[in-house]
């Protein structure tokens, strides 16, 4: 047991959170852009976004652009704080300076 946050410590969710954390706070990325950026299937991305949203780490906004629906996802302040803590814990495990 590593003691790392189990919500984040899964390959796909870690990649999602790390990518979203690199954006400016308040920024949200389109579902299709996130899918393409990380090379994930629609279903797999959707499942992991749902888990992150349930943990309060992420918000999902559904909207219409013209007549087309669009979905955007972005990290919450809680999600950013959790990821920072996760990185601190990870670096400690690896013996890196936080």
- Nearest-approach distance from CB 77 to another protein, in angstroms: 14
CB atoms within 10 A of CB 80: 16
Which residues, at least 6 apart from 25, have a Cβ–Cβ distance to it below 8 Å?
Answer: 75, 77, 80
Q: Are 89 and 81 in contact (CB under 8 A)?
A: no
The residue assigned the tokens 């899964």 is: 10
The structure tokens listed for 35 are 């899918």
The residue assigned the tokens 């790392």 is: 4
* Contacts of another protein in 29-68 (CB under 8 A): 29-33, 35, 37-38, 41-50, 53-54, 59-60, 62-65, 67-68
| Residue 82 binding another protein, by CB under 8 A | no
- Nearest-approach distance from CB 90 to another protein, in angstroms: 6
Q: Which of 69, 78, 81, 85 binds another protein (CB under 8 A)?
A: 69
Contact footprint for another protein (CB under 8 A): 2, 4, 9-12, 14-16, 18-33, 35, 37-38, 41-50, 53-54, 59-60, 62-65, 67-72, 74, 87, 90-91, 93-96
């Amino acid at each position: 047991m590593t003691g790392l946050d189990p919500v984040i410590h899964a390959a796909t969710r870690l990649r999602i959170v790390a990518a979203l954390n690199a954006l400016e706070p308040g920024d949200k990325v389109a579902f299709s852009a996130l899918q393409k950026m990380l090379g994930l299937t629609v279903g797999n991305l959707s499942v992991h976004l749902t888990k992150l949203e349930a943990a309060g780490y992420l918000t999902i906004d559904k909207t219409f652009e013209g007549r087309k629906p669009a979905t955007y996802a972005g990290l919450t302040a809680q999600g950013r704080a959790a990821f920072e803590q996760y990185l601190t814990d990870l670096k400690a495990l690896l013996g890196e300076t936080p």
